[in-house]
Amino acid sequence: MIYNQVALAYADMIKKYDPLWNLYGHFTFRLSNTKHGSVHPEKANKLFMHFLDDINKDSFGRNYKKRADKGSLVSRSTEIGGKGGLLHYHALIGHLPERVSKLNMELKETWNGMAGFARLYPYDKKLGGAHYLAKSAYAWKRGEIDFIGPWSFVDKIMAESYQVPEIFAASAL
């Protein structure tokens, strides 16, 4: 089926950047009495972008936007739930300093205070997060996948993130 092939292609592309991913998350929004059920899609995006801005300021400094290669890398799927049609996000967040990626509880509380409920987990490539995120590519999910952050610098970021194994480091010789 073509939809399955599209989802697998998205998953393969996302998995290419496994070394950069720090967190996998589910982001929901508070219920409200609107025709959208929870939140208008534009407001949902603004809330998510504000959340990322807070993370980026903590990770890269207040002026991170002045450097095009700074900021977290995000692959976010927007999904409309099958039960009730409520909008929610699944996201992989990467290129974070280790001290920030360990702040799961604080990050969850930030999202909860801002928008709804979040579940954040350290990214583990063995758990299939890339495939779960890519399922939004299926036509019947009516979802979309967004790539947010300095993706035009991803090759440079990947090269910088590569650590020479200690046994091969010059200081070990």
Higher pLDDT, 131 or 32: 131
Between 9-18, 34-43, 62-71, 74-83, the lowest mean confidence (pLDDT) is in: 34-43
Residues 91-147: tens digit of each pLDDT: 999 999 888 878 888 999 999 999 999 999 998 888 878 877 777 655 445 567 889
- State which residues form the domain around 9: 2-172
pLDDT of residue 140: 47
> Nearest-CA neighbor of 24 among 137, 120, 144?
120
Is the pLDDT score of 83 beyond 60?
A: yes
Reported confidence tier of residue 25, pLDDT bands at 50, 70, 90: very high
Query: DSSP states of 6-67 as a string?
Result: HHHHHHHHHHTTGGGEEEEEEE-----SSTTSS--HHHHHHHHHHHHHHHHHHHH-TTGGGS
Is the pLDDT score of 168 beyond 50?
A: no
pLDDT of residue 172: 44
Tell me what the pLDDT averaged over the chain comes to.
Answer: 82
The torsion defined by the Cα of 112, 42, 83 and 76, in degrees rounded to 10, comes to: -70
Q: Which long-range contacts (CB under 8 A, 24 or more apart) does 113-117 make?
A: 114/47, 114/50, 114/51, 115/27, 115/28, 115/29, 115/30, 115/39, 115/44, 115/47, 115/48, 115/51, 116/27, 116/28, 116/29, 116/30, 116/38, 116/39, 117/27, 117/28
Total domains in the fold of the chain: 1
Residues 150-161: tens digit of each pLDDT: 999 998 888 887
pLDDT of residue 66: 93
Residue 151 is part of a domain; what is its CATH number?
3.40.1310
